[in-house]
Amino acid sequence: MSRNGSVGKKSSDIDLTGVRTYEGLMSTLQKRVDPFGVTTSILNAQVAWMMHPQELSREISGMSGDVLALQTHVMRRAFGLPSEDVITPHADDARFADPVWSETPTWDIIKESYLAFTRRLEDMLFETPGLSHKERRRAAFWVRKWLNAMAPTNFFFTNPIAMRKCVETNGDSLKQGFKHLLRDFEDKNIRMVEADAFTVGKDLGTTPGRVVFRNRLVELIHYTPTTAQVHKTPIVIIMPWINKFYILDLTPSKSMVKYLTDQGYSVFITSWKNPGADMADVGFDDYLLEGVDQVVNTVCTLCSVPQVHLTGYCIGGTLVATYMAWANRHYGQKKIPVAHWTLFTTLTDFSRPGDIEVFIDEGAIRALEEKMAEVGYLDGNDMAASFRLLRSNSLVWHYFEKSYLLGEPLPAFNVLFWNMDTTRMPAAMHSFYLREMYLHNNLMKRDALTIAGEPIDLDRITQPLYAVSAEDDHIVPWQQSYRIHKYVNVKAPVRFVLSTSGHILGIVNPVVNPPKRSFWVAEPARNEHFEHWFARAEKKPGSWWEDWLAWLSPQCGPMVAPPDLKAANCPDLGPAPGTYVFEK
């Protein structure tokens, strides 16, 4: 006992005072200086390892095994003896694809040393003791970004291909690379395609059609029928507003809307307004009411039909899912203007949204809100930069190497051109979406959200659903997209498709011969886990577009004469692709 009667501190007790001070300091730094955890997440991981010496010693022991294997490999290569790589690059890692990285001992040693160090460090961060899954993932994410930036391929004197090309071109490659650097410096972006590589309306988005509706948020485009008759029920496609709509109408050979039109469907698509500061207060409710609801009812009127087939892509699909729950409550199941619906790569359960999770917490959202409050919107380049960071090797450093170190011209790739054609997002809408969907995951919770005066419950949805995901989607992991079948009403038939490729090319997946891609398809049982579904799903070669049409055809009714828009007093608002798509 001490003199004042308190129990004295034993020598074996751990004093956590410093830890509490450190945690408070890091929390303050993260809120005020580093809201996205670029450095604080890494420092937290370092402290966590120091507080777990037993686990750290085990990792150091494992690292010593890597060092020994690497030393053996270096010795064999130095003496000209064959040796298997200690670390093999991932299949999607093209940085070391040139034979020089394997055939020349010096460059092979540099490559292997870099890969061994980065692989071990990333694994350690993913296994950091004492941190939550999200904290470990964030630390590993930012370390991976730093390591990607420090790859030997990103520096002239450690890139044998760049040095070889400099010699072969008598230095012209570096001259061209410097010009490209100045171009991108002026543009404040590492370009993936030249700004004038394509012209919308001339090279892209050329399927004939007319704008049939316009308000402050959206233009509605109807594509000119190419068949004598069309299915009675029209298709309405709600596009995401974080990019332009013409990703589904790139070129005639890649255009989904042209394909649907040629197959006898009456197709409508949304082209969203690129908002400015005057639209700062536009919210998610407005996108539902003035966007989806007005569009659906307009199409019903123009086509003289009681219901449409509604399709949503990405964030447009999240809006469509919300609308379906809202409309079932607002109109009632007998009067809802949607007969059945389709989702393309859509999240409705945001509990595990993939790598983008590292940008989602209270501090990060607050920082974004403060930035948006200054101008009234989130700039499209900020959003594009976030998505490019998720795949920094292929979407950032690949172009850094090709443009600056090798001096190569940018490829004229239409998907990349569309990707660089960014749009802004209203501050109110984006804040709501980040908080209610990503941060609180309220869409999957019954009546946790109230949108446009109605509580939202996905279980009210009984209409048949066709849902498509992509195997390599880094924005909408298919395992999460799959979960929609658990939240709609048990009476709703669901057909789930998993396409090969990623978020864009898994959807922009035209029918070609011979097939380029394949897909898995099956109807999931109510509580069936995605692993069990995948194990029994049928894998088919080719494009899922044909399977979708086989599902749509009986649902969309008999063949009838195309809608007479003139008879329906449809206003002539100009030809496709409209005017909103050109707004910068």
Per-residue model confidence (pLDDT) at position 354? 87
Residue 98 β-bridge partners? none
Asked if pLDDT for residue 17 goes beyond 90, the answer is no
Asked if pLDDT for residue 321 goes beyond 50, the answer is yes
Active-site residue among 166, 300, 303, 314?
A: 314
d(CA 137, CA 474): 15
Q: At what angle do helices 133-149 and 105-126 cross, to 10 degrees?
A: 160
Asked if pLDDT for residue 3 goes beyond 50, the answer is no
Q: Output the pTM of the full model.
A: 0.91
Asked if pLDDT for residue 11 goes beyond 50, the answer is no
Per-residue model confidence (pLDDT) at position 458? 98
Q: Does 314 qualify as catalytic in the annotation?
A: yes
Residue with structure tokens 């790739």? 413
Instruction: Tell the CATH topology of 209-374+420-582.
Output: Rossmann fold (3.40.50)
What does the pLDDT look like over 423-471, one tens digit per residue? 999 999 999 999 999 999 999 999 999 999 999 999 999 999 999 999 9
| Distance between start and end Cα atoms, the chain | 74
User: What are the residues whose beta carbons fall under 8 Å from the beta carbon of 104, sequence distance 6 or more?
Assistant: 160
Cα angle at 480 between 267 and 361, to 5 degrees?
Answer: 110
Cα angle at 571 between 215 and 207, to 5 degrees?
Answer: 85
Query: Domain extents for the chain?
Result: 17-154, 209-374+420-582
